[in-house]
Amino acid sequence: MMDIAAYGGLFLTALLAATVLPAQSEILLAGMHASGKYDVAALVLVATAGNVLGSACNWAIGRYLMHFQDRRWFPIRPALVERATRWYNRFGLWSLLLAWAPFIGDPLTLVAGILRVDFRVFLLLVTVGKAARYAALVAVL
């Protein structure tokens, strides 16, 4: 039962880390891995799934909710959207492989929704990038 709660906590932390909310899934993943109590493949899989789901939420926000961007409560700053749009326009679909990158990754996933990137292509590229990041982190540890 404790394993389910731990993996669930990792999933939720990874999900939140992929949104504009502050969370650091890498720290939790590293701690869980260092404890030696958890399966490495399961850690990478759970963290990746949560992080990709968070990015999918960003895509949905970009796809459906950007008409609220001028409201005070809207969580994404226009400057981040502009920067991510420039990156996306410069590098195209392949920029989604960098969806894991700090500062630019979350806005890139939002811009992908704004630009109506095919969700299947979005999921493939974002999943590859995020899984590679978590796998590399575990390999380094």
Which of 98, 102, 86, 96 lies closest to 117, judged by CA? Answer: 96
Question: Per the structure, how many domains does the chain have?
Answer: 1
pLDDT tens track for 33-50: 999 999 999 999 999 999
- pLDDT of 57 reads 95
Q: Coil, strand, or helix at residue 72?
A: coil
- pLDDT of 1 reads 57
Average pLDDT for 86-104: 87
* Secondary structure letter of residue 66 according to DSSP: G
Whether residue 89 has pLDDT greater than 80: yes
In the numeric block, which tokens belong to residue 86?
């420039």
Q: CA 40 from chain center: how many Å? A: 19
* Secondary structure letter of residue 24 according to DSSP: -
Amino acid sitting at position 78: P
Cα separation values, 58 from 13, 22, 36, 47, 100, Å: 15, 14, 33, 17, 13
Domain range enclosing 78:
2-140
Taking the C-alpha atoms of residue 94 and residue 75, their distance in angstroms, rounded to an integer, is 25
What pTM was computed for the model?
A: 0.86
pLDDT tens track for 102-125: 888 888 898 899 888 999 999 999
